[in-house]
Structure 1
């Protein structure tokens, strides 16, 4: 796709961060927007900003993207009120708990996977028939640089973002002969509130989240226009991308542990050297 004027663009997680930046960028390009976020107040704030930029129709809906029924209802509402979607940006996501795997409950993995992975699956599948009906369109699925490498205290989050990568790369091949372009985004350290709920989230944000959301959004729009399918972009993104294929797994694991060691709680890791297995238990 080259032009977005009067095209219907669907964006999940539009209440803040990259999602809000996508909404404002596409509003400036004359798109008709359908916006989602879990937090109604944040979504309404984005809607106010969009209306300051554009007088085109705008649809908003606050719901959990991990709820299949709500996502399919949203797609039906978009079709009925705005027409078929042309671009779908599955951006919504949450952080993990920021703990090592032995301290996480199964519910953490289930929660993060439901939102980060199944939210992308539902968003893609709910809107894909509309894109195909148009004879043109784009699907943008947001993974992470943590969908390229595994990192300590992020096994729940990494699992979900690796899953997004696998799903999207398979979708690319399936739609190779179609008029639909598929794009996989691996953001690096983008300045959002993604880590705010995790253990040591403030320290992580200060150390790594340095690239402005507007910068990566500009790159994503270029990818949609050019047809480039993978984007790895943001603070330290190139470094992690290189590590994902240029280093042996053993060396990469050592490097990543040293890089993030100052964010790891020694009490949590004491269990590894505790014969009784008591240290680090919640």
Structure 2
């Protein structure tokens, strides 16, 4: 797809960060934008900014994308008010619990998977019939560089982003003989607020979240235009991509050392307790 004029573009997680930049950039390109988020106030701000850029029709909906029936209803509303969707940007996500496996609450795994993975499935399945009816369109699913390799304290987040990767790569094959393009995005350290609720969020943001969200959005749009199926970009993405080529033991040692200052001493102190309480043979 080369021209986005009057194309219907659905964007999740549009209240801030990359989601907001997707909405504004597609509005600049003449698209009809449908945006969602759970943050009503910030989503309204994004919608106001979209309307200031473009006089064309747009739609804003406060939506829990982890609620399947609500997603289905939203897809119907987009079709009624704007027409069939042409592009879906599965951008929304949460940062996860930020704790090692032995500390992480099982409920957090369910929450992270529901928002980061199952919502991608729900949105894709709800809107894909509209793209197929158009015989034109693009599905953009946002994974992460943490969907390429596992990192400490992020097992729920990595699991969800690996799941997005597997789902999307399968969809690429299934739609290979159709006019629908499928794109898998692995952003590196994009400067968003995804880590703000985690215990070490501010420290993580300062160390790793460096890349301007607008740069990331424009990379994705270039990828849609060129048909590029996998996109890896952002702060330290080249390094992490290189690490995937290394033997697993070496990679793990490097990551353990690199991200050591993100570890919570209280969490890792539990390992010492386990080792001293376990009988030695």
TM-score (norm 1): 0.97
- Say which SS state the counterpart of residue 118 (structure 1) adopts: helix
Alignment of 1:54-65 (within 5 A): 54-65=54-65
Contact 1:95 1:157 in 2 (8 A): yes
Does 262-271 or 232-241 show the bigger shift?
262-271
- Segments of structure 2 that go 5 or more residues without pairing to the other structure are none
Deviation at 1:275, TM superposition (A): 3.6
CA distance in 1, matches of 2:122, 2:20: 21
Corresponding residue for 1:237?
237
Q: Deviations over 1:127-152 (max 9, x none)?
A: 00000000100000000000001000
- Say which SS state the counterpart of residue 259 (structure 2) adopts: helix
Corresponding residue for 1:85?
85
Supply the RMSD in Å over aligned alpha carbons: 1.0
Distance 1:170 1:277, change over 3 A: farther
Distance 1:277 1:135, change over 3 A: farther
Alignment of 1:157-176 (within 5 A): 157-176=157-176
Deviation at 1:277, TM superposition (A): 7.3
- Say which SS state the counterpart of residue 103 (structure 1) adopts: coil
Alignment of 1:259-270 (within 5 A): 259-270=258-269
Q: Deviations over 1:254-280 (max 9, x none)?
A: 0001000011012211222224778xx
Give yes or no for the alignment of 1:100 onto 2:100: yes
Corresponding residue for 2:66?
66
- Segments of structure 1 that go 5 or more residues without pairing to the other structure are none
- Say which SS state the counterpart of residue 232 (structure 1) adopts: strand
TM-score (norm 2): 0.97
CA distance in 2, matches of 1:168, 1:100: 27
Contact 1:271 1:277 in 2 (8 A): no
CA distance in 1, matches of 2:209, 2:14: 19
Runs of 4+ in 1 over 4 A off after TM superposition: none
CA distance in 2, matches of 1:259, 1:235: 15
Corresponding residue for 1:249?
248
Q: Deviations over 1:191-219 (max 9, x none)?
A: 00000001100000000000000001001
CA distance in 2, matches of 1:276, 1:243: 30
Give yes or no for the alignment of 1:20 onto 2:20: yes
CA distance in 2, matches of 1:238, 1:25: 25
CA distance in 2, matches of 1:277, 1:27: 60
